[in-house]
Structure 1
Amino acid sequence: MLSALLLFLAWSCGVLAVVARAPDSPFPAAAAERRAVQREILALLGLPHRPRPPSPLKRTAAPLYMLDLYRAVLSDGPEPRVPLPPTEHEEERLLSDADMVMSFANLVVDPEEDPSVFHQYHRFDLSRIPDGETVTAAEFRVYKDFVHERYENETFHVSVYQVLREQDGRDSDLFLLDSRVVWAAEEGWLVFDLTATSNHWLLHPSQNLGLLLTLESQDGEQVKPRAAGLIGSRGPQNKRPFVVAFFKATGVHLRSVRSAPGHKQRTQNRSKTPKHAAPSSQEALKLAEAAENVSVDPKQGCKKHELYVSFRDLGWQDWIIAPEGYAAYYCEGECAFPLNSYMNATNHAIVQTLVHFINPDSVPKPCCAPTQLHGISVLYFDDSSNVILKKYRNMVVRACGCH
């Protein structure tokens, strides 16, 4: 496996050129070089710094759910696409529209068993959302176990409230967000809509006072959530409540382009080059004769080459959940006259090749560059151990051609 050990980033022929070490070379030994590589890739991923989650290895409910979403968005590669369960078809629609999905762990630890408490209190920190992202949907998810004792054949009315104001000596002011009826024998995740509330909390973080969950029997009596099978923050890690939000970028943020040494000089020299007219009849005859005698070795022509970027080699396995790396590929090869069909040349590249053949000193050859790029999805922890699934465009070369 070729480890993607990037030495520098340079702009060549209008595309970002990535130079890799030999397959058997170790990761950059120099600390400064290693940090430079990490900074560049973090910038590509839109991260200001390397996340350092406090406890990234916990297999809690949120990471497991997010891993299912990650598998669902895979369309190719070593892992096959995994469809979501039938009850999760809405997530497939949200996934296709979202640029980013983020889960939030519950910040509140349930108190020890208290006979006077008939509710669950939850709070989630939404302040870690990156700038430029808008919530398109948000869900509060609570797991319900099968109840086979006292309430076996009963139904419950589950309500989720937004805490508007906390007051000493009396109940908090609440606003009903969502509710549903569940059977005692029902088992699985209960999903409550939190879209409007999450957007309100983003605009007014100081008003994020949490959520309150209550239960009533069919007779209107209060029921303890745990007695009805609802799992709180003291339950098994893979069943603890969490919030998941889907985001859409509000604008496109482009990184500044830094030219490689000498690029500016080449541009200036080229700008002074006189324009050339289309080939004359005599020159066209010369081209026709040359085309019969010139043949380009397909092995030397413009094509896609192997390049694998390993997140593990970068030392990021503690915060990137998946993938361990990805096949980025790169384009390299000759774009020489005549441009054969396998070179996937543009019309402009064909004309430029003809002019270069006649006047090689004044007009350069076309460049071998990507003609088709695909994206990847990365699942990772942030500094607060929240889990983020983000799509990154134009990360994988699918096809090359002469430009």
Structure 2
Amino acid sequence: MVLIGPCRCKPLNGVIKMRETEMQFQISKQDSSEDPSEDLTLGGLLENVKDEFLRLLNLSGVPHEHSRTDPPHFMMELYNRYAMDKSSTPRSDVIRSFNIQDVSHSKRNSSETQHLLRFNLSIPSHEEITMAELRLFTFLDHSAMNHNFMQATIKVYDVEYHEDQPVLHFLSAKSTEGKDPTWEVFEVTDAIKRWVKSGQTTNTLGVRIERRDTGAFEGGGIDISVSVKNNSSAVLIVFSDDRTSDKTKDTDELKDMIAHEEESFVLSEQNNKSTSNALSVRDQPRRRRHAKDNYCRRTSLRVDFKEIGWDSWIVAPKVYDAFECKGLCSYPLTDDVTPSKHAIIQTLVNLNNPNKAEKACCVPTKLDPITLMYYESGIFTVKHFYEGMKVAECGCR
């Protein structure tokens, strides 16, 4: 029979699977508050949390980024849209940006300009690509022009090499007028799917800018930014869906959280058993008034990633409210704490004989996701539904 009691819930502990280790930590804490092994055991628990957190993000370890560029403006727009507007429906669960690694070739003549853009791309095997876009920043090069207007057609190709000879596969085209600098978007989904299927991480897109109505051409004209170190460089945006069952995992985490809280309470309740037995009957009304004032509810729990040293790679949010469940589950159990049948029966038994059964436990009964942006090896990733990161509802179990 599971022993249940009032306890303070810890939402982020839902990912910890090694509950026996945590029990050892609590025993150590009770036996000697100055035991140096206590810090080591707590450190192990934090490592378990970190490892599970990283595993769900498909990361092998905490990224060590000594320097980090700002995320592309488009990626910040996406993050803000999904984080602020819960009604927004993203195209995919996961969105990544890949900057160009190199410009292997650039050529210009009187009628056109050509660039070969090289990208390093890696997508986890359990994700399915739904769409991919190439974003190019176009501008009018006035270096040798006598007018402020020019028309051009920009064409994008998938470059496949056969015996070191490039073969171009047309992907997309767009006409533009070079009045003002602007971002142009080209769909390149077929190319990215081919890259992933082939298993090659380094691949090339070709860009051809064909000028029209140039008049007397002396150089300059419409071009694209190909710098690899600024926010105007060409960027590849890949949308994918995570095919793993996050909902099932979310339910499993809830079960683990409840079980964790049940076990956490056992030791402290056993130590306090003799004290609670000594309470007289006249103390019962006062205890019930206290329970009413401290009823099971959801309270704020602010998490600052800088405090745990993850702000170097978690771009946003910097701080968020994970919430936690606090309070007592005392008779009568109201509908707002959605008590299970077992919790109701247990509460009635406790009310009749506190020595026979403990109170039900105030625990999370529903978890919500958050939108997360993180940075690793030059890649910015927005994960729209990072499940199980904040408590949505509390109840008595």
TM-score using structure 1 length: 0.69
Shift of 1:308: 2.4
Pick the aligned partner of 2:198 from 199, 204, 208.
204
CA distance in 2, matches of 1:400, 1:352: 18
Kept in 1: contact 2:96–2:239 (CA 8 A): yes
Deviation, structure 1 residue 187? 3.0
**Residues 100-125 of structure 1, C-alpha deviations (whole Å, 9 max, x = no match):** 11111111146688769931111222
Question: Structure 1 pair 66/173, CA: closer, same or farther in 2 (3 Å)?
Answer: same
Match of 2:224 in 1: 230
Asked if 1:392 is matched to 2:393, the reply is no
CA distance in 2, matches of 1:184, 1:262: 66
Matches within 5 A, 1:37-76: 37-45=46-54, 46-47=56-57, 48-52=59-63, 54=65, 56-59=67-70, 62-75=71-84
1:181 to partner: Cα distance: 0.8
Residue in structure 2 matched with residue 299 of structure 1 by the alignment: 293
Q: Which residue, out of 205, 209, 220, partners 1:215?
A: 209
TM-superposed CA distance for 1:374, in Å, is 2.0
Distance 1:349 1:143, change over 3 A: same
Residue 318 of structure 2 aligns to which amino acid in structure 1? E
**Within the alignment, does 1:316 sit opposite 2:310 as a pair?**
yes
Q: Structure 1's 346 and 146: CA in aligned 2 closer, same or farther, altered over 3 A? A: farther
C-alpha RMSD of the superposition: 4.3
Q: Give, as a single letter, the amino acid of the residue that structure 2 aligns with 1:118.
A: T
Residue 391 (structure 2) pairs with residue 380 (structure 1): no
- One-letter amino acid matched to 2:83: L
Aligned residues, how many? 339
Q: Distance in 2 between matches of 1:225 and 1:387?
A: 36
> Which of 248, 252, 259 is the matching residue for 2:245?
252
Where does residue 118 of structure 1 map in the other structure?
113
C-alpha displacement of 1:193: 0.6
Equivalent residue for 1:330? Answer: 324
Shift in Å at residue 142 of structure 1?
Answer: 0.5
Mapped to 1, the partners of 2:161 and 2:218 lie a distance apart of 23
* Aligned-partner Cα distance in 2 for 1:226–1:208: 31
Query: Residue 142 in 1 paired to residue 128 in 2?
Result: no
The structure-2 alpha-carbon separation of the partners of 1:353 and 1:371, relative to structure 1 and needing over 3 Å to count, comes to: same
Go from structure 1 to structure 2 and tell me whether the alpha carbon gap of 1:11 and 1:356 turns closer, same or farther (over 3 Å shift). Answer: farther
Contact 1:56-1:385 within 8 A present in 2 as well: no
Distance 1:345 1:138, change over 3 A: same
Cα distance, 1:226–1:51 mapped onto 2, change above 3 Å? farther
Which residue among 116, 124, 137 is the counterpart of 1:130?
124
In structure 2, the partner of 1:279 is none
Are residues 1:164 and 2:160 paired?
Answer: yes
Give the Å deviation of 1:29.
Answer: 10
Q: Structure 1 residues 5 and 34 mapped into 2: Cα distance closer, same or farther (>3 Å)? A: farther
Q: Deviations over 1:78-133 (max 9, x none)?
A: xxx599xxxxxxxx65xx24221111111114668876993111122222x23421
Q: Distance in 2 between matches of 1:262 and 1:307?
A: 20
Q: Aligned partners of 2:91 and 2:342: how far apart in 1?
A: 35
Partner residue, 1:88: none
SS in 1 for 2:225: coil
Give the C-alpha shift of residue 324 in structure 1.
1.8
Secondary structure of residue in 2 paired with 1:210: strand
Q: Is the 8 A contact 2:106 2:115 kept in 1?
A: no
Q: Distance in 1 between matches of 2:300 and 2:329?
A: 19
| Cα distance in structure 2, aligned partners of 1:54 and 1:225 | 40
* Rounded Cα–Cα distance in structure 1 between residues aligned with 2:262 and 2:343: 23
Could you tell me which residue of structure 1 aligns to residue 151 of structure 2? 155
Paired AA for residue 72 in structure 1: R
**Contact 1:140/1:242 (8 A) holds in 2:** yes
Letter in 1 for 2:69: K
- Structure with more of its chain in helix, by fraction: 2
By percentage of residues, which structure has more strand? Answer: 2
Q: Specify the alignment match of 2:4 in structure 1.
A: none
Q: Which one-letter code corresponds to 2:77 in the other structure?
A: D
Distance 1:365 1:72, change over 3 A: same
SS at match of 1:318: coil
Corresponding position of 1:188: 182
Instruction: State how far apart, in whole Å, the 1-side matches of 2:102 and 2:184 are.
Output: 19
The Cα of 1:343 is off from its aligned counterpart by: 4.3
Match in the other structure for 1:283:
none
Shift of 1:345: 3.5
Structure 1: state its 5+ residue gaps.
13-18, 20-27, 76-80, 84-91, 267-289
Opposite residue 195 of structure 2, the aligned amino acid is W
Structure 1 residues 257-277: Cα deviation after superposition (integer angstroms, max 9, x where no partner): 69769959x8xxxxxxxxxxx
Contact 1:140/1:243 (8 A) holds in 2: yes
Over 3 Å counting, the alpha-carbon distance change for 1:362 and 1:395 in structure 2 is same
* CA deviation map 1:120-178 (0-9, x unaligned): 11122222x2342111111111001245645643321111001121555xx62110011
